[in-house]
Each structure stands twice: as C-alpha cells, then as structure tokens.
Amino acid sequence: MTTMPARSLTQAEVDERFAFATELIAEAGALAASYFADIESLEVTSKGPQDVVSQADVNTELLIRERLAERFPDDAFFGEESGPHGVEGATGIWVVDPIDGTQPFTLGLSSWCVSIAFIQGSVMEIGLVFSPPADELFSAQRGRGATLNGRPISVSPAASLRDGMVGIGYSTRTDPEILLDTMGRLLRQGGMFQRNGSGALTLCYVACGRLIGYVEMHINSWDCLAALLLITEAGGQVNDFLEGNALHDGNRIIAGPPALYESLASLLPENG
C-alpha cells in the first residue's frame, strides 16, 4: 500500500522538481542515446523470458538517481534496476524507468524511452517521458495539462473501438490466454491492436491521440506512472492504478478517452 507522505509539498516545491526533472530527463536521454548509437558493444544480460537489461539501463538510472539525490536529498527513489530507496513515509517518490523498451533498444529499434514520475502518496504530480530517437518530450504536471515538445496535447475523440488502434501490452508474468482473449474481443468488435515493446511510449501515444486506448493485464509502476498522468492531463481516463500495493507489485491498466473507457475495460477479464 502506498503510504501517505509526512507532509505535502508546496506548489513551488513541486514546480522546482518539475523544472529540474525536465532538464534531467534530457541529460539521461542523451546518455541512453549514446549507448544506443553503439549497441554492438552493449553488455546485455537476461532477467527472465523476454526481459533483458544492459549497462545502458543501469548507468542511465544511476545518473538520474544521483542527480535527484544531490538536489532533493529527502525525496525517495524507486527505479526499475535499483528498486525502492526510502519509500515508506517519504514526502515524495521519484519512480523511474531509465530505458523503457530495453529489448527494442538492444535490437536497434526506436521504440524506447526514458520515464520519470513523481508522486506524493497516491497522487501523481509529475510525468515526463522522453523519446530520444524521435526527439519527443511528453510532459505533464498535475492540474496543468499535458504537452508534447511544449505544445498542448489531448486524447483521441474516438467514440468506437473501430475508430483507431488500441495499444495492448503483454508481460510473461500473465497467462498468454488472457492476451489472446483480449485481442479476440477487440478484433471481433472491429478494432485493431498495436504493440511496440514500450508501455510508457505506447501510453504517451494515447495521451496525444495517436492511439485510442491502452489495456494490459499487468504492468509495473515504473513503466507507466509518468504516462498515466499524461493521459489524465490530456483529458483521458485511467483506472486507479496505485490501489493496493501496485507501486511495488504492479497492476492492470485501462486508459483512453472517457467515451471509450468502458469498451476498453471490457477487453480485459474481470479477474486474472
């Protein structure tokens, strides 16, 4: 369960973090991109089926963690590679995926990004996702809307699953039959699916209207929190991802335009 912070930050303190993180994600993206430019020399190891990690992930996370610790020493940190640090009772928590889409990254594909979120308790305050290959920075702060490279974005006006493509995520932690059932339900309703290997980036495409929704039976918090704030600030609707112990254990995702939310929710089983 996400614990409540010892105190609430002032708006000025959140603004300071947003400005710093915006600069930091560009620095982290540049570091990751330098590894991407020389992927033949990357050291890649397996964490499990279809799950890999490279020194690019580790070193990019280390850069982000060290910069944040220097500037905001009282903030907690939760990174994909290094795990949680000082999370319980923290005033705020940085939730970071240094390279979301590591497998595409190591294969030379462009569907990867850096994701940085900041939360207070169960409230998402800051969401930043940077795609170095596309030079696209998706940015959101609670109550202030969402932007792509500084320009306001909004979710699709789609009213039917037939009106576009739905991102469908998959993890080997879940039953393949659930994925097949989900795709079947979508296709039978005249819809179409898309998957690029990066949950964060795909969710950002929902935020800016390129995709009409996203569903996944289980995704980790570092893969999605920043992008979920982007979707809500872009006028979309998402499920209560952080309920229970989802910060640590992950949860399902349903995200898209409000008019499509129930249709998207019907694609996933109620339990599973």
Q: Are 50 and 71 in the same domain? A: yes
Q: Are 67 and 101 in the same domain? A: yes
Residues 6+ apart with CB under 8 A from 83: none
- Give the chain's domain count: 2
Q: How many residues does the chain have?
A: 272
d(CA 136, CA 143): 21
Q: What pLDDT score does 50 carry? A: 47
**Which of 152, 179, 212 is the C-terminal boundary of a domain?**
152
d(CA 56, CA 71): 23
Residues 167 and 203 sit within 8 Å (Cβ to Cβ): yes
Residues 203 and 224 sit within 8 Å (Cβ to Cβ): yes
Q: Are 135 and 215 in the same domain? A: no
Inter-CA distances, 35 with 30, 63, 79, 85, 272, Å: 9, 14, 19, 26, 38
Predicted confidence pLDDT, tens digits, the chain (272 residues): 455 666 789 999 999 999 999 999 999 999 999 999 988 887 776 555 545 567 888 899 999 999 999 999 999 999 988 888 888 878 899 999 999 998 899 899 999 999 999 999 889 999 999 999 999 999 999 999 999 999 999 999 999 999 999 999 998 888 899 999 999 999 999 999 999 999 999 999 999 999 999 999 999 999 999 999 999 999 999 999 998 899 999 999 999 999 999 999 999 998 65
Q: Are 192 and 234 in the same domain? A: yes
Structural domain of 24? 11-152
**Which of 118, 152, 186 is the C-terminal boundary of a domain?**
152
Q: Are 224 and 104 in the same domain? A: no
pTM of the shown model: 0.93
**Which of 108, 134, 152 is the C-terminal boundary of a domain?**
152
271 domain-assigned: no
272 domain-assigned: no
Q: What pLDDT score does 271 carry? A: 63
Residues 264 and 255 sit within 8 Å (Cβ to Cβ): yes
